[in-house]
Chain A
Amino acid sequence: MSETPLAPQDLGRLHLEPQYATARQQAETAAFGMWVFLATEVLFFGGMLFGYTYLRATFPEGFAEAARETHVIIGTINTVVLLTSSFTMAWAVHAAERDRRRATALLLAATALLGLLFLGLKGLEYYKEWEEGVVPGLNFHKDGPNAHVAAMFYYLYFMLTGVHGLHVTIGIGLVALMAVRAWRGGFSARYYTPVEVTGLYWHFVDLVWIFLYPLIYLAGRSGP
């Protein structure tokens, strides 16, 4: 981006706030702010992953037994859905950079729809788990020597996927908002920072799932 003088109507579009000298400084600052936020998110999920590590290391057999019963097919489809949404998101940013406003809007809409599909499948999975009686604390009907491990496993499963699902939900809202703004011509090659920053967030949600997938669905498939 070069800092050529701007026409007044463009200046309004840049939403330049008084504390910034240039649009570029503002855009880079926004991206950096999002990266710092993502660092905090790493630790937010990290706390639960620490509990996961404790559980898996302390009770390997019971853990594998419980993890084997997760819905690997839904989990895998959801992984593909989320990775695809990340692809459309990256593509949307690419289009926004090149001032292709309708493409940006359509790709953002596709991203949001894939996010909704993810949530729908996740909901289906939760429903099945409710039916199976593996929701600890509310509807849990497992017996046997490792039932307490299964309870802890499913507790962490619901916490991890629940918090992740919350992030997906927020992400869908942000991406949809960006789609509407893009459709109305709110962005240009000079100003598309919100799309870029929303993209970073969306990719992060995908990154979390990339790790949750093997930790939840693939654990214990070939024995403890």
Chain B
Amino acid sequence: MRSVDAGLGRPPRSLLLTWLALLGLVALTLGLAYAPLGRFSIVVALTIAAVKAGLVVTLFMKLFRGPVLARVAAGAGLFWLGILFSLAATDYLTRNDTATGNFSLPTGREESR
């Protein structure tokens, strides 16, 4: 048999750097969440999340080194989710009624108490 390694050895550089970058991005997104960015807060948070996801997918999951098919599958998942959100938006963004009424009974269970 081949040599059985003794310990863990040193982590590969690219993985170590990715991990550090991810931790840095966590700190960044946490800090920015408290900055008064108004409605851009969510945009910033999701952009940072997308960057983190990109790092994981590229460097941990090695999506762009394997066969094309894996990319197609991953892309299909996202694309179909996009269909759901975008086409449903044609309804939600153009509906001209808003939720009204008395919602003071948050669970519906209070009635029976």
Question: A–B direct touch, CB within 8 Å, in complex?
Answer: yes
Could you tell me which A residues sit within 8 Å of B by CB distance?
A: 28, 31-32, 35-36, 38-43, 46-47, 49-50, 53-54, 57-59, 72, 76, 79-80, 83-84, 86-87, 89-91, 94-95, 99-103, 106-107, 136-137, 140, 142, 145, 147-151, 199-200, 203, 206-207, 210-211, 213-215, 218-219, 221-223
B42 touches A219 (CB 8 A): yes
Could you tell me which B residues sit within 8 Å of A by CB distance?
A: 2, 4-9, 11-12, 15-16, 18-19, 22-23, 26, 29-30, 33-38, 41-42, 45-46, 48-49, 52-53, 56-57, 59-61, 66-67, 69-70, 73-74, 76-78, 80-81, 84-85, 88, 92, 98-99, 103-107, 109
Q: In whole Å, how far is A70's beta carbon from the nearest beta carbon of chain B?
A: 11
Q: Which residues of B contact A36 (CB under 8 A)?
A: 73
B30 touches A218 (CB 8 A): yes
A35 touches B73 (CB 8 A): yes
Q: Which residues of A contact B2 (CB under 8 A)?
A: 99
When the two chains form the complex, which single residue of B26, B36, B81, B98 contacts A222, counting CB atoms closer than 8 Å? B36
A32 touches B45 (CB 8 A): no
Q: Which secondary structure characterizes the binding site on chain B? A: helix
B56 touches A86 (CB 8 A): yes
Q: Which residue of A lies closest to B38 (CB)?
A: A223
A35 touches B57 (CB 8 A): no
A83 touches B49 (CB 8 A): no
Q: Which residues of A contact B19 (CB under 8 A)?
A: 83-84, 86-87
Q: In whole Å, how far is B99's beta carbon from the nearest beta carbon of chain A?
A: 6
Contacts A31-B70, A151-B106, A223-B38; is A218 near B45 (CB within 8 Å)? yes
Distance, CA A108 to CA B64, complexed state (A): 24
Q: In whole Å, how far is A78's beta carbon from the nearest beta carbon of chain B?
A: 11
Distance, CA A102 to CA B2, complexed state (A): 12
Q: Which residues of A contact B46 (CB under 8 A)?
A: 211, 214
Q: Which residues of B contact A145 (CB under 8 A)?
A: 104
B61 touches A200 (CB 8 A): yes
Q: In whole Å, how far is B89's beta carbon from the nearest beta carbon of chain A?
A: 9
Q: Which residues of B contact A31 (CB under 8 A)?
A: 66-67, 70
Distance, CA A140 to CA B109, complexed state (A): 10
